[in-house]
């Protein structure tokens, strides 16, 4: 198994920019992305449906990066009013919106023959329709503000089959299609829309929800013999949110070593 590489320091890629990150509380990809954006000089509004965890994460980052750089707004992405309030809070606090990272998603495991309509609908509503709601709201705001960048969190399961993941895989494939269509529609307004498709990024919350055997088996299939660290995915997200990817739109970037 290859060792985890050293953490990459910030280079000011997002200096002077403002960003919103959904599902940003805690130790997963959203939290790592919020931290990386701050390290790259952005001002960041964190959002999450978990209020207590959001408060703790926001307080920790504000203590580290300064209260003027960090804000928060609770948001359940299945609720249109809460989505509008989240973006309103970002504009009220920072006065502009340059980047949005749609990270909110919901998983679960169920064979299709045993899956209920409620299980299917809940995963689709959070993971796909929630991404649509946030993308739609961001496009409306950015169109009048000179452009911006949206990065959606998809998954390699949008391409690959895995037992028990029909609802999640369908939702993530939908996120990929949504990304491509939104990119074509938004290009004329100077807005770029891209997505990342991680394979396996393990953090404490995922480790609680999945068995050690499953995670070990998935990691063994990766060329590096290990899972990705959340910050390794966050690095690619921030690249797509920055001007370093100025000619990229409608792309889904795999953050995986399985194709090596």
Of 86, 73, 102, the residue nearest 194 (C-alpha): 102
- The two three-digit tokens of residue 142, written as one number: 């950015």
**168 in active site:** yes
Backbone angles phi, psi at 174, to 5 degrees: -65, -40
Place of tokens 């404490």: 204
Catalytic residue among 7, 168, 244, 247: 168
Q: Which residue has the tokens 């023959």?
A: 113
CA separation for the pair 157, 70 (Å, rounded): 32
Can you say whether residue 128 is alpha, beta or left, with left for phi > 0 and alpha for psi between -120 and 50 degrees? Answer: alpha
Per the CB < 8 A criterion, the answer to whether 123 and 171 are in contact is yes
Catalytic residues: 168
């Amino acid at each position: 198994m290859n060792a985890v590489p050293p953490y990459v320091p910030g280079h000011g890629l997002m200096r002077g920019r403002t960003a919103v990150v959904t599902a940003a509380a805690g130790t997963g990809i959203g939290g790592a992305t919020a931290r990386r954006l701050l390290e790259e000089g952005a001002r960041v509004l964190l959002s999450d449906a978990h209020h207590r965890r959001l408060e703790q994460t926001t307080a920790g980052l504000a203590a580290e990066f300064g209260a003027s750089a960090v804000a928060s707004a609770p948001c359940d992405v299945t609720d249109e009013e809460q989505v509008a309030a989240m973006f309103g809070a970002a504009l009220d606090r920072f006065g502009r919106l340059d980047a949005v990272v749609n990270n909110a998603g919901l998983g679960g495991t169920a064979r299709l023959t045993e899956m209920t309509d409620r299980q299917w609908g809940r995963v689709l509503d959070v993971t796909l329709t929630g991404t649509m709601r946030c993308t739609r709201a961001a496009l409306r705001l950015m169109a009048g503000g000179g452009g911006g960048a949206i990065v959606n969190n998809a998954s390699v399961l949008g391409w690959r089959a895995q037992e028990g993941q029909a609802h999640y895989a369908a939702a993530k494939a939908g996120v990929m299609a949504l990304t491509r269509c939104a990119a074509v529609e938004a290009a004329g307004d100077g807005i770029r829309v891209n997505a990342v498709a991680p394979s396996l990024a393990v953090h404490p919350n995922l480790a609680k929800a999945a068995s050690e055997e499953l995670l070990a088996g998935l990691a063994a299939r990766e060329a590096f013999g290990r899972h990705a660290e959340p910050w390794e995915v966050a690095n690619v997200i921030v690249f797509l949110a920055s001007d370093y990817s100025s000619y990229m739109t409608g792309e889904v970037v795999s953050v995986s070593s399985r194709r090596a």
